[in-house]
Amino acid sequence: MARFASLLALVAVLLGMPVVACAADDVTTNDVTADDVARGKALAERLCATCHLGPGQGEKRSPSEIPGFRAVAKRPGQSLHGIVGWLKGVPPMMPNHRLTQDEMFLIATYILSLKDED
């Protein structure tokens, strides 16, 4: 039984490893600068504004609505990883902007910067 338990632990470690390695390869939150926010903003205004940056646009209240970026930023537990993950998934309800990983990072940084605005 003890042997079975340690085998389980080993399996857990092995399964865990690729996940950790993947997260490390992913975006890092270090070195976010005001310039990143500005570049992300420029991209968002060009590519996403018609759907996500309407004046006063808030959280979606029905399934067919689109959330404003500030509402997306204010969601509990929202993170850079969460937003980049959404964009990487190329969601079918959004145009495929063929963003590079850098662009996803910059836009997500910009979106999160809206969190503290009213």
Residue 13 and residue 7: Cα distance in Å, rounded? 10
Residue from 37, 53, 74, 97 in contact with ligand HEC (CB under 6 A): 97
User: Which residues have CB under 8 Å from 37's CB, separation 6+?
Assistant: 109, 110, 113
- Closest-by-Cβ residue to ligand HEC is 48
What's the angle, vertex CA 25, arms to CA 22 and CA 26, rounded to 5? 90
Given the complex with ligand HEC, which of 34 and 93 has the nearer CB atom? Answer: 93
Biggest CA–CA distance in the chain, Å, is 62
* Contact flag: residue 27 with ligand HEC (CB under 6 A): no
In the shown chain, the binding pattern of residues 40 to 79 toward ligand HEC, with x for contact by CB under 6 A and - for none, equals ----x--xx-xxx-------x-----xx----x-------
Reading the block at residue 117, the tokens are 């605005």
Query: Judged by CB under 6 A, how many residues of this single chain contact ligand HEC?
Result: 18
CB 80 within 8 A of CB 112: yes
- Contacting positions for ligand HEC (CB under 6 A): 44, 47-48, 50-52, 60, 66-67, 72, 83, 86-87, 93-95, 97, 107
